[in-house]
Amino acid sequence: MAESFDVIVIGGGPAGYPAAIRAGQNKLSVACIDEWRNRDGSYAFGGTCLNAGCIPSKALLESSELYHRTREEFAVHGIKVSGVSVDVAQMQKRKAGIVKTSTQGILALFKGAGVTPLQGHGKLLPGRRVAFTGADGATRELSAKQVILASGSVPVELKSAAFQAPHIVDSQGALEFDSAPKRLGVIGAGVIGLELGSVWRRLGSEVTVLEALPEFLGIADQQLAKEAARHFKKQGLDIRLGAKVTGAKVVGDAVEVSYEDAKGSHSLTVDRLVVAVGRRPFTRDLLANGTGVELDERGFIKVDHQCRTGAEGVWAVGDCVRGPMLAHKGKEEGVMVADLIAGRYGEVNYKTIPSVIYTAPEIAWVGETEEQVKASGRAYKTGVFPFLASGRARAMEQAQGFAKVIAAQDDDEILGVHIVGPMAGELIAEAVLAMEYSASSEDLQRTIHAHPTLSEAVHEAALAADKRAIDSLNR
User: Which residues of this chain interact with ligand FAD, rule CB under 6 A?
Assistant: 10-16, 33-36, 47-49, 53-54, 57, 121-122, 150-153, 171, 192, 282, 286, 318-319, 325-328, 330, 358
10 near ligand AMP, rule: CB under 6 A: no
Q: Which stretch binds ligand AMP (CB under 6 A): 39-47, 142-150, 181-189, 409-417?
A: 181-189
245 near ligand AMP, rule: CB under 6 A: yes
d(CA 397, CA 390): 11
Are 197 and 207 in contact by the 8 Å Cβ rule? The answer is yes
Are 300 and 316 in contact by the 8 Å Cβ rule? The answer is no
- The phi and psi torsions of 444 (rounded to 5 degrees) equal -65, -40
Which of 260/426 has CB closer to ligand AMP? Answer: 260
CB of 134 to ligand FAD, least distance (A): 11
DSSP state of 170: -
188 near ligand AMP, rule: CB under 6 A: yes
Q: Is the peptide bond before 155 cis (omega within 30 degrees of 0)?
A: no
Residue numbers annotated as active site: 451
3-state secondary structure of 291: coil
Q: How far is CA 358 from CA 55, 143, 424, in A?
A: 11, 41, 9
59 near ligand AMP, rule: CB under 6 A: no
Burial of 114: CB neighbours in 10 Å, binned 0-12, 13-18, 19+: middle
Q: Which stretch binds ligand AMP (CB under 6 A): 10-18, 76-84, 206-214, 461-469?
A: 206-214
Give the largest Cα separation in the chain, rounded. Answer: 73
174 near ligand AMP, rule: CB under 6 A: no
229 near ligand AMP, rule: CB under 6 A: no
When CB distances are held under 5 to 8 angstroms depending on the partner's kind, the choice from ligand AMP, ligand FAD, none that residue 211 binds is: ligand AMP
When CB distances are held under 5 to 8 angstroms depending on the partner's kind, the choice from ligand FAD, ligand AMP, none that residue 12 binds is: ligand FAD
d(CA 467, CA 405): 12
Which of 171/208 has CB closer to ligand FAD? Answer: 171
CB of 239 to ligand AMP, least distance (A): 11
d(CA 183, CA 99): 28
d(CA 118, CA 209): 40
Strand partners, 43: 37
204 near ligand AMP, rule: CB under 6 A: no
Residue type, position 420, single letter? V
CB of 208 to ligand FAD, least distance (A): 19
d(CA 48, CA 57): 11
Instruction: Provide CB contacts within 8 A for 344, sequence distance 6+.
Output: 26
DSSP state of 46: S
Which of 156/433 has CB closer to ligand AMP? Answer: 156
CB of 218 to ligand AMP, least distance (A): 7
CB of 275 to ligand AMP, least distance (A): 9
Are 283 and 299 in contact by the 8 Å Cβ rule? The answer is yes
Question: Mask: binding to ligand AMP, 254-293, rule CB under 6 A, as x and -?
Answer: ----------------------xxx---------------
212 near ligand AMP, rule: CB under 6 A: yes
d(CA 77, CA 209): 32
When CB distances are held under 5 to 8 angstroms depending on the partner's kind, the choice from ligand AMP, ligand FAD, none that residue 34 binds is: ligand FAD
249 near ligand AMP, rule: CB under 6 A: no
Q: Which residues would be at the binding site for ligand AMP (CB under 6 A)?
A: 158, 187-192, 210-213, 244-245, 276-278
